Amino acid sequence: MTLRIGDTAPNFTIDTTQGSIKFHDWAKGSWVFFFSHPADYTPVCTTEMGRTAQLAPEFEKRNVKPLGLSTDTVEAHKGWINDVNDTQNTVLEFPIVADKDLEVAQLYDMIHPNESATATVRSVFIIDPNQKIRLIMTYPMTVGRNFNEIIRVIDALQTTDRDEVACPADWMPGDSVIIRPTVSDEDAKEKFPQGWKTIRPYLRLTDIK
């Protein structure tokens, strides 16, 4: 199955390092950062798991639950978490799915067979509290993800949901945002009483809190 932005994130029941979870129940009311990695006890993955653990307060501030996945067992994950904590100087507290039968990996198209028949590539799904997929990103085995970008895109999605705006290239929190082309100037006067700058009729920038 090909998953697309706007689809409901498929539900599943699976063992994790924190017991069995029913995904939709576990995720209820939160954003989810669901990410796969090729294997336990591998160097790039170790740094990614450490970084996710270090960012726990940032995820919590944004009402985001991280959920990792690889195709190893719960026992392997637990042993490896000790290594992650030791080497990355952190305490990893989010669950990691033990997908040894590739059940969830297949459901989320995380196996790219021309890369590996059994190991997941570095997939990212950002899922909103309505359980809709809002972002899909796939990285190769040999390149670790940019976690600043993951936090940035969550901030951008939450901002565009709240204020009916859009975020320009390289947007960071605090930067100007774009008034959506679907909002007329007349409606914009009401929605954005602080005013805006018209670069082109379709490109209007405004500042929000």
Interface with ligand BEZ (CB under 6 A): 38-39, 42-45, 141-142
Q: Which is nearer to ligand BEZ, 47 or 158 (CB)?
A: 47
Q: How far apart are CA 188 and CA 196, in angstroms?
A: 9
The one catalytic residue in 27, 32, 45, 69 is: 45
Q: Which is nearer to ligand BEZ, 51 or 204 (CB)?
A: 51
Q: How far apart are CA 61 and CA 75, in angstroms?
A: 30
Rounded least distance, CB 138 to ligand BEZ, Å:
14
Exposure letters 149-164 (e unless 16+ CB within 10 A, then b): ebbbbbbbbbbbeebe
Rounded least distance, CB 121 to ligand BEZ, Å:
9
Rounded least distance, CB 32 to ligand BEZ, Å:
22
Torsion angle (degrees, nearest 10) of CA 105, 109, 112, 116: 10
Judge whether 45 counts as a catalytic residue.
yes
Q: How many Cβ atoms are within 10 Å of 78's Cβ, its own excluded?
A: 13
Give catalytic residue positions. Answer: 45
